Chain A
């Protein structure tokens, strides 16, 4: 408990650092929200007036502190471009991202674990070779290609799924596969190597010598230990998926967090970008925390050290 609290407290400097970093970076790169708002229309008077109306003429430090002060009160500010509270915008987008991330993670875990285990037990035999080649494709083919290929073949040519997201679960299947593809590949590879390593340890020989059947050895003894690194990876993958998937969201028209963030960068929409990054930072930190927690649950040695 104390450990968890300590970890949660350590989030504060990280978040402050992230805020400061984004704040400074957005000021260093050229471009400003006023030029975006005005687009092709230009007049110095209008630019000056807008800069003032958006408080962009205040000294940087003042802008930063008033922002941090707002955040401490739970106020993430109002989007420069969308003129709505950032919190509202994020909370509207987040459920779409969660749905996508959870489905993608489930896909990646089920496929990744199954192929990984099969590959490990058939080490160096044909099923292993086939699955490992496939998983290599999983790791190396870019999401963009997977997404477009799935969309073209399974939604456009053979009309099995909707082309783009309409909010239904069915329309999230292709995006979930596209997003989970890479993760499935890495989980499969990690499970295989970890399981093979564990299978060579002494206690497995002992179990075998006791007369246990191969299946019981693998599922009862080996897998439990082999899963430790895999679970960490799974938790980290889930939290990174939760923080938005720009490409998948674009191809399948999903109104999630990833697109908010890219739009915010393009529009130099400071409050929105700060808000999405803060939000996703919290999610990634929580994901790490969860991984540690699971680790401790699965491995008593870690609990004792703590």
Chain B
């Protein structure tokens, strides 16, 4: 009898278990995403590259909206309108009055003030590159003030921002992750836990962080107080960390990932598997970025413009684009990325693949027997970047230059680069905000920045012009100046080797209805741009 009752119990429990398994629980729309490594913080003032979470949990005054044709435009977000004074110095904003943080408190001009103040007052803030143009920012950075002089709160929904000097790209800067608006109350209460502890990291964006397990996963859920309509956007988003590209690849094919970022996958697999079997599931967007190779003018013989010109002619850029990136991109002959403001096709032809011509130029410069050149590779970067250098190395050997690749780990590579002593390297620059100043200031805006990237460009007049161009208020005149500067730097001085602007490829699962990538093609995007079936 006992045995029988035991058996019955077992039978019942097995059946119940089976029934429980066969009825799928209604979990809502869960979006599963993958990272190749974990983020370090959710605090955008303390990172220059962990933007995925801030983009989704915070709002910005303005946003850049990506349109179907791939172009993008600046649109109002929590700032519902603004005016710019005639001298281009003062920006007056009106906030929406229906914006609430995920703790239910309303977002006001005081929060905007607290955010911008913290950006400069926080001792280890790294987000000061583009915003120091705000009046009084430098004083805050230097510890000479505790209030941001250039920000005036008029009432709960009105405030002004005043700049030191006119800067045409300022509105675009406000739409970058740098300028995520935080909660004053939350910042004061959370202290150093802000950005580290989910419940102490409050934003007004469409999502909030539910859980963060270091090196494992991060979960977002809807912000119940968001002013944005949920629509078909995901109810929950889970980012999982896959350090190994092979595992991530299998996980996508297994149905564990909804949007696969092809940047994280070996390009040969992208070409052989995804572009064939998943062709109708692939989405490609233009990346507003330029891949480039540098030549350090303080490393002989690259101080000679003829030698630099010869290197520009030696490289087979189309060959690299086809071999390494499956042809997914366009050659760029200037500085500004294809598709960005300031980009023009007038510069096409500045660089031509001509190894014979390159040899002649080298001979003219007295280097008919070539010279030795170190190409510095960052071993932590994608395999594609190493492949670019391998082709370049070969191209150089064809014109008699004895190039060799030297591997550094990321930190060592960055340190050598910033010392100004790296001979040559390759890297992409993707726009932070859509304005030519972003890229040209970064590389050629001052003696310091050009040394910090081991270019050591020598023409101080040109650098002064680059710095001055920001303040030209007439848009046409400004663009003409940027075009002239690009011509001088790339064509006349051969100070850098532009390569190409690439496409960023993604593979979508069947569960995705629509996906709006980041306007500049970043790997990080606002998950509010995803809708699910």
Contacts and interface: CB of A to CB of B under 8 A. Distances in A.
Contacts of B416: 30
A159 B255 CA distance: 12
Contacts of A30: 408, 411-412, 415-416
Interface stretch (A36-44, A65-73, A108-116, A284-292): A36-44
Contacts of A83: 40-41, 43, 46, 192, 195-196
Interface-central residue, B123, B254, B411, B415, by most chain A CB under 10 Å: B411
A32 B415 contact: yes
A183 interface: no
B368 interface: no
A266 B242 contact: no
Interface in B491-531: none
Nearest to B453: A42
Interface band, chain A: 35 or more
A163 B123 contact: no
A52 B244 CA distance: 35
Interface in A6-35: 29-33, 35
A50 B216 contact: no
Contact of B411 (A40, A259, A260, A268): A268
B124 A43 contact: no
A251 B247 contact: yes
A257 to B, nearest CB: 10
B262 interface: no
A45 B414 contact: no
B214 interface: yes
A164 B242 contact: yes
B365 interface: no
Interface in B106-134: 123-124, 126, 128-129
B240 interface: yes
B145 interface: no
A41 B48 contact: yes
B215 A259 contact: yes
B411 A266 contact: yes
Contacts of B429: 40
B354 interface: no
Contacts of B453: 42
Contact of A148 (B123, B195, B240, B246): B246
Contacts of A35: 411, 414-415, 418
B247 A40 contact: no
A266 B410 contact: yes
Given A37-B48, A83-B46, A268-B411, A252 B247 contact: yes
Contact of A163 (B214, B251, B410): B251
Interface residues of B, number: 51
Contacts of B414: 31, 35-36, 38-39
A40 B427 contact: yes
A89 B40 CA distance: 12
A83 B408 CA distance: 26
Interface in A149-182: 151-152, 155-156, 159, 163-165
Contacts of A92: 213-214
A38 B49 CA distance: 9
A255 interface: yes
B518 to A, nearest CB: 16
A84 interface: yes
Interface string B45-86: 011110000000000000000000000000000000000000
Contacts of A31: 409-415
Nearest to B240: A253
Given A253-B242, A266-B409, A42 B452 contact: yes
A54 interface: yes
B253 interface: yes
B459 to A, nearest CB: 20
B250 A152 contact: yes
Contacts of B268: none
A53 B121 CA distance: 12
A38 B449 CA distance: 13
Contact of A251 (B216, B244, B253): B244
A46 interface: yes
A276 to B, nearest CB: 12
A83 B197 CA distance: 11
Interface in B246-261: 246-247, 250-251, 253-254, 256
B40 A82 contact: yes
Contacts of B241: 253, 255
B224 interface: no
Contacts of B246: 148, 151, 251
26 contacts: A30-B408, A30-B411, A31-B413, A33-B411, A35-B411, A35-B418, A37-B48, A37-B124, A38-B414, A40-B49, A43-B129, A43-B449, A44-B452, A46-B126, A49-B141, A50-B126, A53-B123, A82-B196, A93-B214, A148-B246, A159-B254, A255-B216, A259-B243, A263-B37, A266-B380, A266-B409
Interface of B: 37, 40-41, 43, 46-49, 123-124, 126, 128-129, 141, 192, 195-196, 213-216, 240-244, 246-247, 250-251, 253-254, 256, 380, 408-416, 418, 427, 429, 442, 448-449, 452-453
Given A31-B410, A249-B243, A266-B411, 4 more contacts: A38-B48, A93-B214, A163-B256, A250-B244
Interface of A: 29-33, 35-47, 49-50, 52-54, 81-84, 89, 92-93, 148, 151-152, 155-156, 159, 163-165, 249-253, 255-256, 259-260, 263, 265-268
